[in-house]
């Protein structure tokens, strides 16, 4: 099932590129899924890692995800998918609210995604300078608010033994990046 999800996501994102980069977009979902798999998480969560941006950024709908990968994968992807008809601030507030009250698998996916995005942004800034902000809907102050809010809410409801190591990695990156 994981290989099928990777192939589906690769086809869905064909031709798309990462912001500020010539890298194929699929490199991001692959890194997210690999991080989740490395933690030993469920096949459903790893599949959701590959598929997490498909509904948001391609022609496919959540029903396509459910048809091909089952209800649980579709639930995880749906919880992570932003409604692009809303403003940037509304979408990000929804993600903050989601991560605070979501079950642990959804938290794991959101943080893995945000960590990879911020790592990519840090690399782009080192290579290209401040012009990278031109391709974003929100500037550094808004990005700081958003990422710090994710950090503040990501552990809510989790026992210490349920918190993966990369949560700390994300928190440290947010502190360093937005200091």
Choice among 37, 39, 57, 122 that is catalytic: 57
Choice among 37, 43, 56, 66 that is catalytic: 56
Instruction: Calculate the CA dihedral of residues 44, 15, 114, 38 and round it to 10 degrees.
Output: 40
Q: CA angle, corner 51, sides to 128 and 175, nearest 5?
A: 45
Q: Is 62:78 a contact under the CB 8 Å cutoff?
A: yes
| DSSP assignment letter at 24 | B
Q: Is 113:51 a contact under the CB 8 Å cutoff?
A: no
What sign does the CA torsion over 7, 25, 117, 103 have? negative
56 is catalytic: yes
> Which sequence positions are flagged as catalytic?
56-57
């Amino acid at each position: 099932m994981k290989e099928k999800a990777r192939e589906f996501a690769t086809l869905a994102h064909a031709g798309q590129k990462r912001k500020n980069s010539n890298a194929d977009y699929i490199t991001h979902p692959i890194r997210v899924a690999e991080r989740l798999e490395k933690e030993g998480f469920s096949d459903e969560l790893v599949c959701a890692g590959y598929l997490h941006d498909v509904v948001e950024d391609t022609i496919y709908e959540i029903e396509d995800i459910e048809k091909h990968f089952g209800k649980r994968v579709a639930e995880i992807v749906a919880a992570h998918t932003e409604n692009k008809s809303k403003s940037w601030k509304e979408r990000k507030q929804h993600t903050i609210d989601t991560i605070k009250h979501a079950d642990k698998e959804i938290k794991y996916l959101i943080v893995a995604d945000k960590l990879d995005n911020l790592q990519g942004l840090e690399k782009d800034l080192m290579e290209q300078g401040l012009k990278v902000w031109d391709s974003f809907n929100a500037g550094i102050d808004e990005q700081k608010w958003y990422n710090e809010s994710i950090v503040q809410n990501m552990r809510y409801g989790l026992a210490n033994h349920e918190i993966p190591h990369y949560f700390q990695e994300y928190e440290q990156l947010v502190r360093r990046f937005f200091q």
